[in-house]
Copies of this chain bind each other. A is one copy, B any other.
């Protein structure tokens, strides 16, 4: 019998408890031994909840119990989670976490400690919720030189963008509805400003490159300035607007960005709607791959956490090496990132063509603006040209 402790009985933590108990038979079969939850740590009490009998308030009880060999961290936040996870690893326990802040900031260090203590630190659920992506990157796409990893990494914003496109409603109305439906938090900043996607693409890029990518280095733009008009233009050119985290790797240089992009019909991310997430991977041999599923939610995320727990249970006393060096990987300048741009401007065609040369004009509903598509430009090239016209808005295009 392998004993597990869960730190935090919130949305994900309670899901982990449910998966471990309701699917106990399947999990025992996969591990070859039964797993049981010995402790659940939370500051709150849950009278009448099945968790009551194993609920504790004192972390040290878990840290000092040699019977506990696997700890699940689902508290979120950085400071306390970091302290607890580190102490668990140092105490010789494997840890599985869904905490993207923790992994993005401290992944390299925690993996090193896990290696030294001959245990495992796993974080499948930190990116893409229930979607298997971390382990496939580490165990499946291994023969390939990865040229791109990108994705729709946040369900809240994808829900809003899908609804804007389908209903023509505006951002303010939809963020309110998303909050009512529980898809967005009361303070939705981390989602809608792209910070959540940024941490996730930083984790994926660190794994793909084997070195620390600091999320603070990644240019990040959210969806709060997107208007129904933007979505109309996206539709006109046969695309869908998606908040993407992108890392492209050319000649050893890594180009990362988080921003709304218009994605063409033939791209697999085009059809990823509502709260679903997907990660796109391009390898030099395997070509295009996509991993699709629920990017959030209690049970999908818990399933990913427990898949780590199962791997850890199958590998007690054996560290599975993961390359993620702490030395920071310098990213290419944002100015070097290149794509096409959809531009909305108050300037006349003469001025547009003087700045951009030949462009592809779109239909507009109003005489107050002209919209056009540029060819492929670097960000800095675009900025320089856009400075010569009166810009209303620009959206990146990946078609």
Seen from chain A, the residues whose Cβ lies within 8 Å of a Cβ on chain B are 15, 18-20, 22-23, 26-27, 29-30, 32, 124, 130-132, 135-136, 139-145, 210, 266, 268, 270-271, 273, 276, 283-294, 297, 299-300, 302-304, 306-307, 309-311, 321, 323
Contact = CB atoms under 8 A, between A and B. Distances in A.
Nearest to A31: B142
B307 A142 contact: yes
Given A140-B304, A287-B297, A291-B292, 10 more contacts: A23-B143, A23-B144, A23-B285, A29-B323, A136-B136, A143-B306, A283-B303, A285-B303, A286-B304, A288-B292
Contacts of A27: 142-143
A285 B18 CA distance: 9
Given A26-B145, A124-B140, A144-B23, A132 B293 contact: no
B270 A307 contact: no
Contacts of A20: 143
Given A136-B135, A143-B27, A289 B289 contact: no
Contacts of A273: 266
Nearest to A26: B145
B132 A136 contact: yes
A318 to B, nearest CB: 10
Contact of A143 (B19, B131, B145, B284): B19
A293 B288 CA distance: 6
Contacts of A321: 32
A293 B141 CA distance: 12
B268 A292 contact: yes
A297 to B, nearest CB: 7
Nearest to A297: B287
Contacts of A30: 142-143
A10 to B, nearest CB: 17
Most chain B beta-carbon neighbours within 10 Å: one of A23, A32, A273: A23
Given A285-B299, A289-B131, A307 B26 contact: no
B286 A294 contact: yes
A97 to B, nearest CB: 16
Contact of A299 (B270, B287, B302): B287
A155 to B, nearest CB: 12
A17 to B, nearest CB: 12
A143 B290 contact: no
A143 B285 contact: no
Contacts of A135: 136, 139-140
B288 A289 contact: no
A141 B307 contact: yes
A306 to B, nearest CB: 4
Contacts of A19: 143, 285
B290 A289 contact: no
25 contacts: A26-B143, A27-B143, A124-B140, A132-B140, A135-B139, A139-B139, A139-B307, A140-B304, A141-B303, A143-B302, A143-B307, A144-B303, A266-B273, A268-B271, A270-B271, A276-B288, A283-B303, A285-B300, A285-B306, A287-B294, A288-B294, A289-B293, A290-B292, A291-B291, A291-B292
A23 to B, nearest CB: 6
A26 B309 CA distance: 28
Most chain B beta-carbon neighbours within 10 Å: one of A19, A27, A143: A143
Given A139-B135, A143-B27, A130 B303 contact: no
A300 to B, nearest CB: 5
A139 B137 CA distance: 12
B287 A289 contact: no
Contacts of A15: 285
A131 B139 CA distance: 13
